[in-house]
Amino acid sequence: MKKLLFAALALVAVSALADTKSAAENQLKGKLPGIFARAAEQYRLLLKNLESVATEKKPFPKRWENGELVTIPPEDWCSGFFPGSMWYLYEYTRDGFWRTEATKFTAIQDRIRHYTGNHDIGFMLMTSVGNALRLDPRPEYPGMLLDGAEALTKRYSEKLGLIRSWGKIDEDKNFLVIVDNLMNLELMQWASKNGGGEKYAKIAKSHADKTSQHHFRADGSAYHVLNYNQHTPGKILEIRAGQGASVDGTWARGHSWAIYGYTMLYRETKDRAYLMRAIKSADYLLDEAEVPADGVPYWDHKAWAIPHEERDTSAAAIETSALLELSQFVPTEKSAAYRAFAVKTLLALSSDRYFAKPGEQGGFLLTQGVGHKPGKIASGKGGEVNVPLNYGDYYFLEALIRFNNLAGGKSALGK
Ligand code: GLY
């Protein structure tokens, strides 16, 4: 009798969970057309604002700060996000206006196809040219991506088996690797599968394996910056806080890059070690990190004065997009948990608490992004704290499209 009662109660609990899931998902699904309409209006405003401040040297918008639109050159790590967001607007709305604008801004990236000044060429090209190739292929796009991948190999050390993130290619003192670098490996995967040959996948594997080995604590949380001894493979000179609160903290966006990066690597390689790494980091986020109820994290999960710290909507958008993809690769219960967390967070991000009011924030979408708070404290200026950031918008739109795909019975990537 008791057993029967437990079974009945468990059934009620499971169906209540399923109801909650479908209620939240239905709510988000119903909101999607309105969110994209509002996003498109905002980006028309952003384009208009850009007209008066963009220059040949700095053609892309990056953030809105102190009532001004800050623009950047193609060499900035964030240069691909604005064209990329317009590609996502095109993907959802199929309005040719966005294809035309996105194509125009994507073409500018030709200037950086051989750029070796940072490790971010994967971000810069995959978000712009990669999306362009997917949505409106042109013959020049594959060459731009292949050249970009080749440029990234110039920052690779055969001896260490790692790509150098920060610093000059030939710097002797430090060999700095940041967890964000995982994101650039998508370009290497693409190049290997599209005419570049094995070399790029080998570099990606070596970098990803070494990062998995050294860049994480036992609880799955990620360090931001490691300084490797470039003369002794495998030896780490120091751990740096980087954009995080301290070496013991967990910088929220860096941790999001880890979840996203290893999910992408599992998709591309089917190596289960990457899946396990993605799950471990996702579970840290869901179970152990200090994340507020709406899912939008503080800029560092161990920031000094939580709950009186800024949230970072960019970290929220990145991890949401990653969790939606990861939800396809894990058993049912975990999948439901990742998807529920992502849907809850997207509902929050698209609410008036975070979504810019029509006509405000220069035309950006998400308010309350944090780029580099310790940088602001150290320099007393800039630092991108509590501002709209173009990468927050990009991953927000990507996550919404991934959700729409999943809700429509497709894979997150729409296949
Ligand atoms: N380097 C990329 C970031 O700031 O997240």
pLDDT tens profile 317-372: 999 999 999 999 999 999 999 999 999 999 999 999 999 999 999 999 999 999 99
pLDDT at position 10 is 44
pLDDT at 112 over 50: yes
SS3 for the chain is: CHHHHHHHHHHHHHHHHHHHHHHHHHHHHHHHHHHHHHHHHHHHHHHHHHHHHCCCCCCEEEEEECCEEEEECCCCCCCCHHHHHHHHHHHHHCCHHHHHHHHHHHHHHHHHCCCCCCCCHHHHHHHHHHHHHHHCCCCHHHHHHHHHHHHHHCCEECCCCEECCECCCCCCCCCEEEHHHHHHHHHHHHHHHHHHCHHHHHHHHHHHHHHHHHCECCCCCECCEEEECCCCCCCEEEEECCCCCCCCCCEHHHHHHHHHHHHHHHHHHCCHHHHHHHHHHHHHHHHHCCCCCCCCCECECCCCCCCCCCECHHHHHHHHHHHHHHCCCCCHHHHHHHHHHHHHHHHHHCCCCCECCCCCHHHCCECCEECCHHHHHHHCCCCCEEECEHHHHHHHHHHHHHHHHHHCCCCCCCC
> How remote is the CA of residue 180 from the centroid of ligand 1, in Å?
6
Ligand 1-lining residues (CB < 6 angstroms) = 77, 180, 243, 253
Q: Which of 78, 79, 253 to mutate to test the pocket of ligand 1 (most atoms within 8 A of CB)?
A: 253
pLDDT at position 34 is 98
Mean pLDDT of 238-244: 97
pLDDT at 6 over 90: no
pLDDT tens profile 77-92: 999 999 999 999 999 9
Mean pLDDT of 172-189: 97
pLDDT at 8 over 70: no
Residue 15 pLDDT level (bands cut at 50, 70, 90) = very low
Catalytic residue numbers, as ranges = 120, 180
Q: Which ligand 1 atom minimizes the distance to the CA of 372?
A: 4
Q: Which ligand 1 atom minimizes the distance to the CA of 257?
A: 5
pLDDT at 17 over 50: no
Q: Whose CA is nearest to atom 2 of ligand 1?
A: 180
Residue 14 pLDDT level (bands cut at 50, 70, 90) = very low
Q: Which ligand 1 atom minimizes the distance to the CA of 254?
A: 5
Q: Whose CA is nearest to atom 4 of ligand 1?
A: 371
Q: Which of 257, 372, 390, 394 to mutate to test the pocket of ligand 1 (most atoms within 8 A of CB)?
A: 257
The reported pTM is 0.94
> How remote is the CA of residue 144 from the centroid of ligand 1, in Å?
23
pLDDT at position 13 is 43
Q: Whose CA is nearest to atom 1 of ligand 1?
A: 180
Q: Which ligand 1 atom minimizes the distance to the CA of 253?
A: 5
> How remote is the CA of residue 255 from the centroid of ligand 1, in Å?
11
pLDDT at position 381 is 77
Residue 209 pLDDT level (bands cut at 50, 70, 90) = very high
> How remote is the CA of residue 108 from the centroid of ligand 1, in Å?
21
Q: Whose CA is nearest to atom 3 of ligand 1?
A: 180
pLDDT at position 20 is 56
Residue 21 pLDDT level (bands cut at 50, 70, 90) = low
Q: What is the mean pLDDT of the chain?
A: 94
